[in-house]
Structure 1
């Protein structure tokens, strides 16, 4: 089966967003990260601003904010559940429109039953990630070690909550790329090569 969709999971600070965006540009396919929020809003009862706020909140049940927002309705569903359901609908809608690259959003699990998906995970050495984050975003009141660990923990907890699968496990991906060892450019080229080899003319 030829590949037509790329899902890209990534550790915080690994450069996964940049790698995915550049790979999509070179392959001339649509790129979605936060860009998909508008579609999620269309499939849900919530507006884009609220969904963005929930995106930045902790994983369900880990903070006071998320606790307040995770109360269940009469159907037993939380706000997070409804947003994730809309997210799934938005991702499946994209598959009807043609090839694309999706960063995060549990895309690899949402589309796990499709044979035309190239599933990528980008990781990197911790010290390299911390240095990159400081170069890109600068210092904040929160120590860099805490920023990195909390961001990855949120991603892992949200992924597990919605999919029941452990985030970042190599068995769930077609390829895992170490951007600190390979360089971002090499990661981009590898993704493009794999996609074109699977999806384009051989």
Structure 2
């Protein structure tokens, strides 16, 4: 495969997307980056008026409302959430330019939408399986969230609102991704199916 294949995974809460991403990274022997890692690197980034924002230009964000909001009152008084989002996006862009990797969440599919060898995946599942996944793997999920359907729906709404606000796209809409897959249909074979898809796609690109 191409030396810089990047796999981004957006997922419904409890769908098993995190574990699938980790399994893919292990199988391909490439780094696995989650929100905590991205956030830690973003904290080390200078404010955007000092950052090389090559990725912004490549993604056509020069005149976006988001950029204007982030810069409107300077690095201290400006929209700090927008600053953080843009800094995290800059980190994602740098990682993708540096090496092959798997990136979970953080709107990485949007940030890397124009990168040829980036694969944008959306992982979903039925509610029953998601409840079972959370209860069987509590270490992977927020301990403060009750393991009930209403709480899972609330988490999905939170993720969707964040994604929709910062990207201007619709979270989970099939046309925003290269592949949407239901883990309830495939279970433990999901990662294998994704890997097969990527390998075949890379052969097609070559």
Query: TM-score band (shorter)?
Result: 0.7 to 0.9
1:1-38 CA deviation, whole Å, 9 max, x = no partner? Answer: 95711111100000000000011110111111122222
Across the aligned residues of Structure 1 and Structure 2, the Cα RMSD in angstroms comes to 2.8
Q: 1:140 to 1:100 in 2, by over 3 A?
A: closer
Whether contact under 8 Å (1:120, 1:175) holds in the other structure is yes
**Normalized against structure 2, the TM-score is what?**
0.76
Cα distance between partner residues in 2 of 1:141 and 1:22: 25
Whether contact under 8 Å (1:44, 1:83) holds in the other structure is no
Correspondence for 2:100: 99
In structure 2, which of residues 183, 186, 200 is the aligned counterpart of residue 179 of structure 1? Answer: 183
Q: 1:12 to 1:200 in 2, by over 3 A?
A: same
Deviation at 1:142, TM superposition (A): 3.7
1:31-67 CA deviation, whole Å, 9 max, x = no partner? Answer: 111222221111156xxxxxxxxxxxxxxxxxxxxxx
Correspondence for 2:172: 168
Cα distance between partner residues in 2 of 1:140 and 1:37: 20
**Normalized against structure 1, the TM-score is what?**
0.78
1:145-200 CA deviation, whole Å, 9 max, x = no partner? Answer: 222011101100000111011100011111111101111x2111012112233346
Whether contact under 8 Å (2:92, 2:108) holds in the other structure is yes
Question: What are the within-5 Å matches in structure 2 for residues 1-202 of structure 1?
Answer: 4-33=5-34, 34-44=36-46, 74-75=73-74, 77-137=78-138, 142=146, 144-183=148-187, 185-199=188-202
1:122-160 CA deviation, whole Å, 9 max, x = no partner? Answer: 000012112221222299784612220111011000001
Structure 1 unaligned blocks of 5 or more:
46-71
Structure 2 unaligned blocks of 5 or more:
48-70
SS at 2:169's partner residue? coil
Whether contact under 8 Å (2:134, 2:147) holds in the other structure is no
Deviation at 1:87, TM superposition (A): 0.7
